[in-house]
Structure 1
Amino acid sequence: MSRMFIRSALSLVLVLCLGSMGWAICRSRPINPVTDVCWNCIFPVQFGGRMTLGNTQGNVPPEDRSPPVCACFSGGSLTIGVTVSFYEPARMIETVQDAYCFPSLGTQMSNPKPGFLNGSKSDAAAHDGAKIFQQAHYYILPVFQLMNLFADFPCLEEEDFDLAYMTEVDPTWSNDALAFLLNPEALLFANPVSQLSCIPDSVAANAGYPLDPLFWCMGSWGGSYPLTGSIEGRDDTTANAGLAARMLFKLGREMLAFDTGSDPCGSRLMPIWKKSLYRLQIARPVRGNDCIPIGRSDFLWGAGKNPPLGAGQNAPNNFLWVMTRKNKCCVGYTP
C-alpha cells in the first residue's frame, strides 16, 4: 500500500471523526473510487499522435494529432520519446444546496447560522427569470495513485487527496458585483446578445464536443459568465452541471488550475479554458455511466439522476461530479 493512499485514508478518517465530534452528518456516503468512477471514461488513449485505442459510447473527442515524437526539456535534462494522451479521473466537484455539506466525504461542517449561504431557486415569474444558486467544492482526486495503478507511469501528477477549494469562504461566488471586479470581461458576454452566439456551441456539444473558441458558452448549460454560483435555469441537474463546469473555468481564470492536455512537455496556465479537454460524470445523487462533454443536454444523460426524495443515502440537489481531463505527456528516455 502506497504512502499516498495511507495519508489520504488518514485525512478521510480525520474528517469523519470530526463529524462525530459535533458536526452534523450530511445525508450521503463517501465516494468509492472503485464503484463510483466511470472507468470507460479514460478512453480513448492515443499513442504517437496517431494510434487510438478505445472509444466511449461513440463519442470521439477532437484530437490535435500531435507529432508522434516529442522532445522536452525539464530541470536541465532532455527527454526524447513518444507522445501519449489519455483521459484521467483527477478531480471531483461538489455542487450542493446545503452549505458546508460534503457528499463525497459523507459529512457536513456545522453552519454558523441555520440556512446561511444555502442554495436557492428563484421564481420563474421573477423579472430576471428563474435562477438557481448552489455552493461548490473542488477536490484533488488522484484515482490512479489512490489505487496504486500505473505507479511507474511518468505522466501522473504526485498529489494527495485534498479539498482544494470551497466557495462558502469565497465572497465572489455569492456576489455578482464582486465577481465582476475580478472578471470585468463578463460585461461583454453575460448578456442576451452574446448568448445568441452560443447556439452553435449547444448543437456541437449535443452532437459531439463543444466549440473551444466560444469560451463564454457552456452549450445547453448556459453561459460561463458570471463566475458565480447563480445560474439561469429551472432544472436542477442541468444547473448543477453548469456550475461544476463554471467552477473549472473560474479556477483556471484565477490561475489555480492548469491545462494538462495541450502540451506534452508539461501543464499550462489556462485563463481561457479549452472545454473539449474536460468531461464530467455524475456520481451523486445517482451514479451515471456517461462521460459528459461540457454543455451536453441532460435529456441525453440526466434522466432519473436527481430523484425528488434523493437516492438511498444521498440527498436531492447535492451533486457530486467526477472530472476527467485529458492528459498529454512525453513518454521516453532521459539521457
Structure 2
Amino acid sequence: MNPISDVCWECIFPIKIAGMSIGTGMTSGLADPPDAASTPICVCPFPPPVFQRVGISLSFWEPARLIETVKDPFCFPSIGQSIYGETGTAGLLSGANDEEGGNQESANTFAQAHYMIFPAWSIMELLTDLTCVEKGGFDIAYMTEFDPLWNDDELAFFIQPEALLFANTVAQFSCVADSVSSNMGLPQPALFWCIGSYGSVYPLAGLINQSNYIQSQAALAARMIYKLARQGLILDPGVYICAAVPTPIWVKWNYRLQLAKPVRASGCMPIGRTGLLWSTMKNPPFVPGGDNFLFVNFRKRVCCAF
C-alpha cells in the first residue's frame, strides 16, 4: 500500500473552513452531506478553569482506515503478505463465489474482512500540528478470521436480533429509495438497514447474495463498517463537532470507499453506489492479488480548530 499513489487524494474535498467550502466539484461529482461545520465559529466544552473553548469550524474527508475483503484468509493486500503461509489453504475460512445452477442472479459471495487503522497524514508526517488530524500509526484493528459471528449467519443473529424487523418484503422494498439516492448523490441514513444497490446490510456476516462479484466486495466492506459501529468498536467523527461519538446506528453518508487493490479506482463512491458505475476492469485475470480487495475508507471529520 503506497499512501501517495494508491490513495485518491481528491476525495478529501470539499474542505469546509469557517463555513466556506473549498474544492467543491473536485471529487468526481460526489455530494457533500450536511455537517456541523456550517457556521464560522464553534464552541466546545473544556476542562476548568476555562470551561468553554472557542474555535473555527472545520470539516474534511480523511483517509483514515483501510478495509480488506479477501478470498484467501489471512492475506493482507495492504502489506502484500499472507501471515498464514500459502494462500488458499485455510479450509472453511476461505472465500468463494458460487453460482446456483449457473444463474448469475443467485450468485453467493463469501469473503473475510480486515479493518485497518491507517491515519494517512500522520503516517506521511503531514499536518501533524493540526489538532483535527488523527495521530498514530498503521495497525490491524479487526480480523474476521477470528470472529465466528462473521462466518455464520445464524450466530450473527445473537448480536443483531433487530434483523428480524427488516426480514420482510416491505422493509427490503424501501431499499429501492436508498439505491436511487446513493446513485444520484448520497445514501439515506434513515434507511440504515439498506446499503443502496447492494441490498440489505443484514445479516452482519461475510456471506452476501450478489451477481456482481466486485460490487459484493464493496457491500462486505460497508457491512464491516456497520458491524463495528453496531458493536461500539468505532466512533464517528462526523456527527459532533467537539468529539467523535459512538453511532450504533451508523450515519452512512459520513463514509466513502475507494478501491485501491487489485486495481486502483480513479475516485471514491458513496455507500451503496452500483458497481455498474465503477467496477469495470477492477479485477482482471492474471493480476497478482486478484480476488483480494483493498478499500480506502474515507470518513467525514468535523472539528473545532483552535
Task: Give, in angstroms, the shift of residue 210 of structure 1.
Answer: 0.5
Equivalent residue letter for 2:257: L
Q: Contact (CA 8 Å) 1:99, 1:111: kept in 2 or not?
A: no
Separation in structure 2 between the aligned mates of residue 282 and residue 92 of structure 1, nearest angstrom = 10
Deviations 1:278-327 (A, max 9, x none): 000000110011111000011111111011332xxx32210000000001
One-letter identity of the residue aligned with 2:291:
N
Q: Could you tell me how far apart the structure 2 residues matched to 1:83 and 1:196 are?
A: 39
* Contact 2:35/2:302, CA 8 A, preserved across alignment: no
Give, in angstroms, the shift of residue 111 of structure 1.
Answer: 6.4
The corresponding residue for 2:83 is: 109
Answer yes or no: is 1:42 the counterpart of 2:18: no
TM-score scaled by structure 1? 0.85
RMSD between aligned residues = 1.8
Aligned pair 1:52/2:21, yes or no?
yes
1:106-255 aligned at under 5 Å gives the runs: 106-110=80-84, 114-125=90-101, 129-255=106-232
Query: Distance between the aligned counterparts of 1:222 and 1:147, measured in 2?
Result: 37
Residues 73 and 95 in structure 2, CA contact (< 8 A), matched pair in contact too: yes
Inter-partner Cα distance in structure 2 for 1:251 and 1:126: 34
How many angstroms apart in 1 are the aligned matches of 2:10 and 2:131? 21
Q: Distance in 2 between matches of 1:68 and 1:214?
A: 31
1:68–1:233 Cα change, 3 Å:
same
Higher normalized strand content (fraction of residues): 2
- The answer to whether the Cα contact below 8 Å between 1:222 and 1:231 also exists between their aligned partners in 2 is no
| Secondary structure of the structure 1 residue equivalent to 2:229 | helix
**Cα distance in 1 for residues equivalent to 2:237 and 2:116:** 17
- AA of the residue aligned to 2:82: Q
- Indicate the SS of the match to 2:243: coil
Rounded Cα–Cα distance in structure 1 between residues aligned with 2:270 and 2:13: 13
SS in 2 for 1:262: strand
Find the aligned partners of 1:321 and 1:168 in 2 and give their Cα distance: 18
Instruction: Report what 2:54 is aligned to.
Output: 80
Secondary structure class of the residue paired with 1:99: coil
What number of residue pairs does the alignment pair up?
298
> For residue 83 of structure 2, what is the amino acid of its counterpart?
M
Matched-pair contact (CA < 8 Å) for 2:128–2:135: no
Q: Percent identity?
A: 48
Structure 2: distance between partners of 1:159 and 1:309: 36
2:294 matched to which residue of 1? Answer: 320
Between the aligned partners of 1:192 and 1:84, the Cα distance in structure 2 is 42
Q: Distance in 2 between matches of 1:91 and 1:147?
A: 14
Deviations 1:96-133 (A, max 9, x none): 00011111111112269643300022323499932110
Amino acid at match of 2:133: L
* Secondary structure class of the residue paired with 1:261: strand
Instruction: Return the alpha-carbon distance in structure 1 between the equivalents of residues 203 and 95 of structure 2.
Output: 17
Aligned-pair CA distance for 1:221: 1.3
Describe the SS at the equivalent of 1:116.
helix
Write the deviation string for residues 32-80 of structure 1: whole angstroms up to 9, x where unpaired: 101100000100001123x100131222212236332111114444320
**Cα distance, 1:75–1:177 mapped onto 2, change above 3 Å:** farther
- In 1, Cα distance between equivalents of 2:238 and 2:46: 18
Q: How far apart in 1 are the matches of 2:46 and 2:155?
A: 39
- Counterparts of 2:67 and 2:46 in 1: how far apart (Å)? 31
Structure 2 gaps of 5+ residues are none
